[in-house]
Amino acid sequence: MRLAELREQVAPGSLLCAPAELSAYSYDGALDRARPDAVLIARSAEDVRRAVAWCAAWQVPFIARGAGTNLSGGCIPVKGGLVISLARLDRILSLDAAGLAACVEPGVVNLALQREAEKVGLFYAPDPASFRVSTIGGNAAENAGGPRCLKYGVTTNHIRAAEVVLPDGSLGRFSLDDEGPELLSLLVGAEGTLGILTKLWVKLTPLPEATRTILAGFPSIEAAVACVSSIIAAGIVPRALEAMDRPTVESVEAGRPLGYPKDPAVLLIELDGSRADCAREAAEVERLCREAGAAAVRAATDPVERERLWEGRRGAYAALARLAPNVLVEDGVVPRDKLPDIVRRIQEISAKHRVKAYLLFHAGDGNIHPNIAYDERDAAETARVKAAGHEMLQACVELGGSLSGEHGIGLDKRDAMAWLFTPETLRLFRRVKDAVDPRHLANPDKLFPIPGSKPGQGFVRPPAGASSEYANLLVDKVRSAPAGSVFRVRGASTRWRDATAEGAVELLTAGLGRVSDLDKRNYTLTVETGVSVHALHRELEGHGVFVRLPRCGGTVGGLLATRPWAGLREDILGMRVLLSNGEVVELGGKVVKNVAGYDLPRLLLGSWGTYGVILEVTMKLHARAVAVPAALPEPKPPRFSPLALRVRRAFDLEGRLNPWLAPSSRTFEGVPIASKPDDFGRNPKRLPPAPE
């Protein structure tokens, strides 16, 4: 590598090449290790841009790194190359209390932002367990969660805009206010495989007037889960709803007695809001806990006691780390009502492999962390621990869940993605990577199985739900269309009436009228996209549940495809999509936390049918009505950016879907991605300026 050339372009003394220095950047919180060829301690966004441009010119792999706390091998330089450390980019560039927003560099530590926001009566909601040391850039790259995400959402729900150095060295700025597909959602959670985040505009939230914390012990996991379901069904959405099993509690109490009950399952429930609401909900939660069989229910009476109750939950990992040199922290998700099943499966798998799993879980959203203490110097024990962890993840998938709710895929789980996704969907993920990073220089060999690798023996992916007869007709229509045909994707035509291209094959989605799955136990809904929005609201209200969709005319699919309101993204969990080559891909899933792969369901919002035909969508449900706009702006076809057109090629190689709404991406072959922010469809009136 021509490091002398790079050294001349970046800040003096920022390029590290000594073996001891490189060794410190060869690992993260997972087991794997690989040494980079060089490390850049970036001191500005321009350092990052120049370094990536240099890597692009010489085809050198590059890996962004924050605090190195991730647990999936996400920043391991498996192909050597250049590690770009963002830890020195740690300025809070602006904090707008009135606008409930901040602009930060990626190296800002989560806790530092929390403290600054609190000074003006605000807080930043995402709170991963590593919040004292992990960075906002790393949180965004992994789409981190944390206890508060049950009520407030994961990191992607709090990123308004981002400045990104793309793999060719160009600089782009992406916002939720951009026209067309949600490229910002594609970049958040991409684990650095599509570029490097160098500035982030984040949403802040007013501090609640009151907070109540309750600790309850239950005679069984089943009783605790039943209580969780009762709380959600009562229309109460806690700020946090955490659970621990008895072995975990005992390990915590051994380090420092905190007075936790020693029941088989313990729930830590935190509520926030107005004083009146908190008092009312706390009384209701205590009643529901006792009805579910809790013998011990303890409420914090002041902030000191509240912090003491949380000390046990936050200190669980440290308590386990005292038991052995290493701790495997797995991260699987199942539908909430399947928590008792996954606990039983984990216990069986632990006995089979002669390991002991300590269970922590975000009970409100089905995210479970089996933690196994071991010594990596014992090769046989390490092999058993790894095998047990993989089987536990397989069990999560078999129960309708996901491989990861908040830790990401990285290197550790990339082969396991073949358990979760069909070959068609994995090919689509790879094509998206190819479209943005054709040379595979950005954090290479992460997220997806290496072609030819095997996902593991004895595992069969659960079959997808059956499509409706009308959905199958649309699939057959695309597959049987003459070569070179173009398609007109149309719903009820209430949002946009375009002239049909001569000879286009019409794909009318209004016949997709089925509510496929209304799951009140897990508060999720799967519905075909031809369903009328008004009719859907009426049907759901008859069942006592609500959806975050404006009350407007037209179909669900038309609303999603035109995205007249950015708030549509908040509750989207998954999609079933028909591509122009006749393949049907399953994106996302039914669980409310899922960071396995690119966030393609949100990317498709605002794509106007030019990426694929959305056959079905899965969304969160609510026990109470959700605030939505009373009126929506008149939609108009967006201006597709060059990058949006490149990504479109991943979905629709020949530009056959609604080609008159977006110029064929074939027109843009060989054209470099523009470096001016406005070229990405940014709306400068609504996005705050970038502080320098």
* CATH (domain of 63): 3.30.43.10
Domain boundary among 590, 609, 630: 630
Which segments in the chain show pLDDT lower than 70?
Answer: 1, 455-463, 494-501, 663-692
Please indicate, yes or no, if residue 156 is contained in any of the structural domains.
no
Whether the CB-CB separation of 408 and 600 falls below 8 Å is answered with no
Question: Residue 227 falls within a domain, yes or no?
Answer: yes
Nearest partner of 204 among 91, 121, 93, 81, judged by Cα: 121
In this structure, the strands spanning 62-65 and 82-85 are parallel
Residue 543 domain-assigned (yes or no): yes
From the list 644, 587, 544, the residue with the least C-alpha distance to 179 is: 644
Which tens digit of pLDDT belongs to each residue from 650-691?
999 999 999 988 765 433 333 333 333 333 333 333 334 444
Predicted local confidence at residue 459, as pLDDT: 63
Query: Six-digit token pair at 116?
Result: 């600054």
Lay out the sheet containing 38-41: strands in order across.
15-16, 38-41, 82-85, 62-65
Q: What is the pLDDT of residues 209-243, one digit of tens each?
A: 999 999 999 999 889 989 998 998 888 999 999 99
Final residue of a domain: which of 85, 103, 135?
85
Residue 502: domain span: 469-630
Are residues 585 and 479 part of one domain?
yes
In terms of Cα–Cα distance, which of 148, 311, 161, 343 is closest to 237?
148
The answer to whether residues 474 and 615 belong to one domain is yes
Pairwise CA distance, residues 547 & 488, whole Å: 29
Q: How many Å apart are CA 60 and CA 74, to the nearest integer? A: 18
| One domain for residues 427 and 574 | no
What is the CATH classification number for the domain harbouring 261?
3.30.70.2190
Structure tokens at 273: 């809001």
If asked whether residues 481 and 621 sit together in one domain, one would say: yes
- Asked if residue 603 and residue 576 are part of one domain, the reply reads yes
Please, are residues 137 and 109 in contact by the beta-carbon 8 Å criterion?
no
Q: Domain of 532: which CATH number?
A: 3.30.465.10
Domain boundary among 47, 67, 85: 85
Number of domains in the chain: 4
Count other C-beta atoms under 10 Å from residue 322's C-beta: 11
Amino acid residing at 33: R
Residue 390 lies inside a defined structural domain of this protein: yes
Do residues 513 and 613 both lie within one domain?
Answer: yes
Q: How many CB atoms lie within 10 A of CB 297?
A: 17
Structure tokens at 647: 């990504």
Dist. CA 264–CA 247, nearest whole Å? 8
Residue 397 inside a domain? The answer is yes
HEC states along 208-276?
A: CCEEEEEEEEECCHHHHHHHHHHHHHCCCCCCEEEEEEHHHHHHHHHHCCCCCCCCCEEEEEEEEECHH
**Same domain, residue pair 314 and 336:** no
313 and 364 belong to one structural domain: no
Q: Are residues 257 and 285 in the same domain?
A: yes
Q: What is the pLDDT at residue 495?
A: 62
Give the span between the Cα atoms of 576 and 514, in whole angstroms: 13
Residue 272 lies in a domain: yes
Q: How many residues can be counted in the chain?
A: 692
Whole-number pLDDT of residue 466: 76
**CA-CA distances (angstroms) from residue 275 to 278, 279, 308, 353, 563?**
5, 6, 21, 49, 36
Same domain as 513, residue 388:
no
In the chain the first and final C-alpha atoms are separated, in Å, by 32
Question: Which pLDDT value is given to residue 481?
Answer: 96
Q: Does residue 446 fall inside a structural domain?
A: no
DSSP letters for 103-136: EE-TT-BHHHHHHHHHTTTEE-----TTTTT-BH
Residue 673 in domain: no
Domain shared by 285 and 372, yes or no:
no
| Residues 495 and 625 occupy one common structural domain | yes
